[in-house]
Structure 1
């Protein structure tokens, strides 16, 4: 079904095969096998063109529903498998995997629950909240804001800085204000990313009510930094980016009137009592309550 849908969208065996990371001959054999099993031709093809037959067009809706249902089944099965085997999947974004609180919480998890195994996944801008809500991951080290059905335990607070191209006239200043950046284009993210999240990072609208002008769309940190280095747009990042993401052509500048960034552990509210989630919450709470750390509140 997945191969059928890809070909129905591309209508070209070469492009569809490349998209699916398989050879064109293997894709052709799979489609022929599917047609034999269904008993109807799905595509009309000749040496130059590929098009859906009437039957193929009619079956795309059911095929898409089947693929989505199988994806949901896989997610639900994975959730139960993790519950039964004591396995927890932890998502991270940006440099969260390298932060000291992340290491401390995972270490405390091992002490409190030595039988639990951990898988850590580094996720891009589109994936980290979507996979948390879908159940592909159990918890995530992330940066709020988040949709209302995700609960948070605050871990740390730090300033945000402007990420500018090295050639920007403001790049060598020791400090700037938001108003200095009013004419700058801001990088954007794909539509799958909750807008409330990127509006916070873009400070959109600005304190004077003006809206941000957006430029190139990026999906992850490397794409974002490349876009900034090329002078295509700017962004705001946690101050830790200075240490974790130094890049040629990129400069980080303090913004004196920019609100700080919060680091948090997040989990879906409806799955807060799942064993893996509960174990991570317990480990995080223990780390945050340790001497020398300020208490954090769950929201």
Structure 2
């Protein structure tokens, strides 16, 4: 039997998920594993690498400094494995039509603007096949950079090297635990949140995005304090808010897309809005017919007022309870 000490890709994925959640129960649920199975995977990975990746106590899980330093390399390995699988699944002959590979997050997939753009695009360009790939916040930028997708629906801003076509603008809201004293107020101001830790996005998210979504620095020049989390998905962010008392800023539409009994969304009167749009690498904009068609449709719909707003109700309006 062949024995290898090389870490398996599924173990590295488990590492990334636990590094994001910093909670074995939540990480195991995301991976469809039991907690003991996840613990065993992490122990095996640590043994194969010969390092301790996490510091565990009865109440807390934290990355060790070495574990934190290894995260970018782990993401590269997992990303390369995804690229290999993606390439192997591609047809050997691409002459049957034009394919536009579009990345989008769970949130972007549900927005009316996304659906209106795609419906118009496929109507005006019936020979264009749109291949959707649902990505998290880290995968989105990586997928664009390495050419796994041609364009993405995303919230702006974007780092250097990418182009963007704005579609809609909407308010941002603050996400609070339902037990937070501030959750009882309909409207807040940034000063009310001074000193509150912001949920930290994963290191793979660009610094320009991290600063924008944390409003860092604040208008008075103060710097933001971040939590120990490294989230790349909205659901993980909301769990961090609920369990650990940090706060986060999200597009107002999150109140409709992610209603949870343990979370409250509140208006922040002096918080700048956010913009949703289409993003693509600068190097590809003039060469890809699919991108040019997509951008043209975006401009037409926006200029004609044909795009629905991101959100339909105020964030302080709680969703109606489900009826049995």
Determine if the TM-score, normalized by the shorter chain, exceeds 0.5: yes
- Measured after TM superposition, the shift of residue 81 of structure 1 is 6.6
1:290: how far off?
2.7
Does 1:224 find its partner at 2:216? Answer: no
- Cα distance in 1 for partners of 2:12, 2:215 equals 38
Alignment match, 1:297: none
Q: Secondary structure at the match of 1:170?
A: helix
In the other structure, the counterpart of 1:237 is 250
Match status 1:284 vs 2:284: no
SS of the equivalent of 2:182 reads coil
CA deviation profile, 1:257-299 (whole Å, cap 9, x unmatched): 00000011111111113122122112222222335669xxxxx
Structure-1 residue corresponding to 2:274: 261
Shift of 1:19: 2.1
Tell me which residue corresponds to 1:174. Answer: 186
User: Gaps spanning 5+ residues in structure 1: where?
Assistant: 11-15, 22-48, 53-63, 295-299
Three-state SS of the structure 1 residue aligned to 2:259 is: coil
Q: What is the aligned-residue RMSD (CA, Å)? A: 3.4
Q: Would you tell me which structure has more strand in proportion to its own residues?
A: 1
Give the CA deviation at 1:78: 6.2
Q: In 1, are the aligned partners of 2:112 and 2:307 still within 8 Å (CA)? A: no
CA distance in 1 between partners of 2:194 and 2:11 (Å): 40
Give TM-score, length-normalised by structure 2: 0.67
**Residues 83 and 276, structure 1, Cα contact 8 Å, conserved in 2:** no
Q: CA deviation at 1:85?
A: 3.1
1:146 pairs with one of 145, 158, 163: 158
Contact 2:83 2:148 survives alignment (8 Å): no
Q: Provide the C-alpha distance between the structure 2 equivalents of 1:238 and 1:187, rounded to a whole number of angstroms.
A: 15
Extract unaligned runs of 5+ from structure 2. 14-46, 51-75, 309-324
In 2, distance between residues paired with 1:293 and 1:152? 17
Q: TM-score, normalised by structure 1?
A: 0.72
Q: Whose Rg is larger?
A: 1
CA distance in 1, matches of 2:85, 2:291: 20
CA distance in 2, matches of 1:100, 1:50: 47
Tell me how many residue pairs correspond in the alignment: 246
> Of the candidates 253, 271, 275, which is equivalent to residue 284 of structure 2?
271
CA contact (8 A) 1:82 1:276 kept: no
